[in-house]
Amino acid sequence: LDGSDASLEKGRERAVRVVRAFEAEFGARPEAALFSGPGRTEIGGNHTDHQHGCVLAAAIQLDVVAVVSFRTDRKLRLQSEGYPMDTIDLSRLEAQPSEQGTSAALIRGIAAKLAQNGVQPSGFDAYTTSAVLTGSGLSSSAAFEILLGTIFNEHDNDGAMTPVALAQAGQYAENIYYGKQSGLMDQTACASGGVVYGDFQDTASPKVTAHAVDFARYGYAIFITDTKGSHADLTDD
């Protein structure tokens, strides 16, 4: 959202639509929460995070939105708009080879990483919709990972995890459970918000600095063109 009345109204309409979709899928609930995970773009240093280099990156206005209602058991059901439902038993957090390359792997991997850090992730029902195009280079997977990490962190950990810790949990899920050797730039930008400078010489403790930049003030804007292409089949490369 850019703060304009038209943008705020569009956001409100989207939120109402997702709430209604959740109710249609799972039924009305006395309590539910709305979460968001933004996509990202790199401004400079694309893929240098893989070589422990430095990057400039930024979260973008396109995001993944989730309506979440928590459960008292350890079952998790997540319905992403347009995809089959994922059903996860959080009492089993070891990697499942059959889930590699799927959103279920990311869900289980995020939960497993939080459990390693002493957090017991709760089950929940969720309906998500995404404006971050899959395979577009805007980090739809990282946005999804940070969304999941934020849900667990806020409900089960009093929001104690830092953006970098959330980013590392997302990278862990993607590397170990999903099977893609991503760097840390994508998740860091999505988790931090705004424009950030990242120095990944030490990936266990990267240096991440926020920068307040108004692109319009300098006559710049980031334009995203939907070329209908996808990098989803480039994982092996």
**Residues catalogued as catalytic:** 186
Distance CA 70, CA 142 (A): 22
Alpha-carbon Rg for the chain, nearest whole angstrom, is 17
Ramachandran region, residue 153 (left: φ > 0; alpha: ψ -120 to 50; beta: rest): alpha
Quick one: angle between helices 140-156 and 185-192, nearest 10?
A: 50
